[in-house]
């Protein structure tokens, strides 16, 4: 049996590594990896794959730096060529990137089965390109592997019970990745020592979404909130190049510790040692939870609603006063009434569960 896994962003490689390890363990499936090149990153080098023990892509399409239509179109064309040559029994796609939708469309038009990992997530914000990618990919897949019951509920509301598509609550594959790589991050990373950080005495922040960076008033409000918090706890922000350029363009300077983007092991160590997290990232919200940290979400919505419902995270948008108030609430809770992070919101042995579902589909 043969599958082609289509990846485009570094977080997808980390998640895919979980499945690749299980595939290699059982020797039943041949896996071919395509890297579309969507997120070009100097860290996506041979060292990245060697250090993290991630299988190297057989194909690198080097498609990046284009508008959505051009990028997706080129990916669709080049992925189709690979699929025609490789003749897989199924393809695997992750999440909600342009690589995800391009891979799913290319496979479906060739009558190749589509497996979508991280299916069923919804922000209900149709202005997000990711939301469109999710919805279309789910609809044309054969197997939807959902990370949460919330994702299952979303699909049920959309009528997926009436479609010939198998929907499974597999749990969140990122949980397996964090657990696996956390065993190595301390020896691989020296960032805590280099930055002279004290355990539990700094806030980790990331801001990169266009809804925040393209609106200068929102961006200023967020950074003013971070600066206020930094008077009490040092704020460390690995800054996305686009965000950095916008701050420089508008001559905005804030008294917080800005560092260059970091690798995965460095990020894990920052997560392990921080006081709490402030982010507009999707994945980092869960990684905070896996590392038993509260999260302040600088967005108007989240796909990971169970984190909010259970009190581990709070949505504040770009409102600096809400950010400061929420920080103080979490600070009080951390000190006086610690949260129970032992709740099993995202499953266990997720990679094994997903592998069994894939084998079952391929044997049909």
Q: Which position has the token pair 């909600």?
A: 96
- Could you report the per-residue pLDDT of 202-218, keeping only the tens digit for each? 999 999 888 899 999 99
List the helix and strand counts (H, then E) for the chain: 16, 13
d(CA 292, CA 289): 5
342-363 mean pLDDT:
96
Integer-rounded Cα Rg, in Å, for the chain is: 20
Nearest Cα neighbor of 11 from 190, 208, 201 is 208
- Could you report the per-residue pLDDT of 28-74, keeping only the tens digit for each? 999 999 999 887 666 666 767 888 888 899 999 999 888 999 999 99
- Could you report the per-residue pLDDT of 178-205, keeping only the tens digit for each? 999 999 999 999 999 999 999 999 999 9
Q: How confident is the model at residue 227 (pLDDT cuts 50, 70, 90)?
A: very high
d(CA 161, CA 81): 33
Contact (CB, 8 A) for 49 and 79: no
Point out which residues pair with 35 in neighbouring strands. Answer: 7, 60
Structural domains of the chain in order of their starting residue, each with its CATH number:
2-172+347-362 (3.40.50.2000), 180-336 (3.40.50.2000)
Q: pTM of the prediction?
A: 0.92
d(CA 228, CA 240): 21
Look at residue 54 in the predicted model and tell me its pLDDT. 85
Instruction: Catalytic residue, from 208, 240, 250, 294: name it.
Output: 208
pLDDT of 240 above 90? no
**Residue 39 among the catalytic residues:** no
Look at residue 335 in the predicted model and tell me its pLDDT. 83
d(CA 47, CA 111): 36
Look at residue 45 in the predicted model and tell me its pLDDT. 65
3-state secondary structure of 321: helix
- Could you report the per-residue pLDDT of 87-135, keeping only the tens digit for each? 999 999 999 999 999 999 999 999 999 999 999 999 999 988 999 999 9
């Amino acid at each position: 049996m043969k599958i082609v896994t289509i990846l485009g962003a570094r977080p997808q490689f980390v998640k895919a590594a979980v499945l690749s390890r299980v595939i290699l363990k059982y020797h039943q499936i041949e896996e071919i990896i395509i890297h579309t090149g969507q997120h070009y990153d100097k860290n996506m080098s041979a060292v990245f794959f060697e250090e993290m023990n991630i299988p190297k892509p057989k194909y690198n399409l080097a498609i990046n730096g284009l508008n959505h239509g051009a990028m997706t179109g080129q990916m669709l064309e080049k992925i189709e060529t690979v699929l025609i040559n490789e003749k897989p029994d199924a393809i695997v796609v992750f999440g909600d990137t342009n690589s995800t939708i391009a891979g799913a469309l290319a496979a479906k038009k060739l009558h190749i089965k589509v497996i979508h990992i991280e299916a069923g997530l919804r922000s209900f914000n149709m202005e997000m390109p990711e939301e469109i990618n999710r919805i279309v990919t789910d609809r044309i897949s054969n197997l939807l592997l959902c990370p949460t019951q919330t994702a299952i509920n979303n699909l049920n509301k959309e009528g997926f019970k009436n479609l010939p598509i198998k929907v499974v609550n597999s749990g969140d594959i990122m949980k397996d990745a964090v657990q696996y790589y956390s065993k190595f991050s301390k020896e691989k990373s020296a960032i805590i020592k280099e930055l002279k950080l004290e355990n539990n005495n700094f806030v980790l922040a990331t801001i990169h979404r266009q809804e925040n960076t393209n609106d200068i008033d929102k961006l200023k409000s967020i950074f003013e909130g971070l600066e206020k918090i930094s008077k009490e706890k040092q704020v460390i922000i690995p800054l996305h190049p686009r965000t950095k350029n916008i701050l420089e363009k508008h001559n905005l300077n804030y008294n917080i510790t800005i560092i260059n983007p970091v690798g995965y092991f460095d990020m894990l160590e920052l997560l392990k040692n921080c006081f709490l997290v402030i982010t507009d990232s999707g994945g980092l919200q869960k990684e905070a939870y896996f590392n038993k940290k509260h999260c302040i979400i600088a967005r108007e919505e989240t796909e990971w609603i169970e984190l909010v419902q259970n009190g581990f995270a709070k949505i504040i948008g770009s409102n600096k006063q809400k950010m400061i108030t929420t920080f103080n609430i979490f600070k009080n809770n951390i000190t006086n009434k610690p949260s129970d992070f032992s709740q099993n919101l995202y499953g266990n042995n997720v990679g094994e569960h997903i592998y069994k579902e894939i084998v079952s589909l391929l044997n049909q």
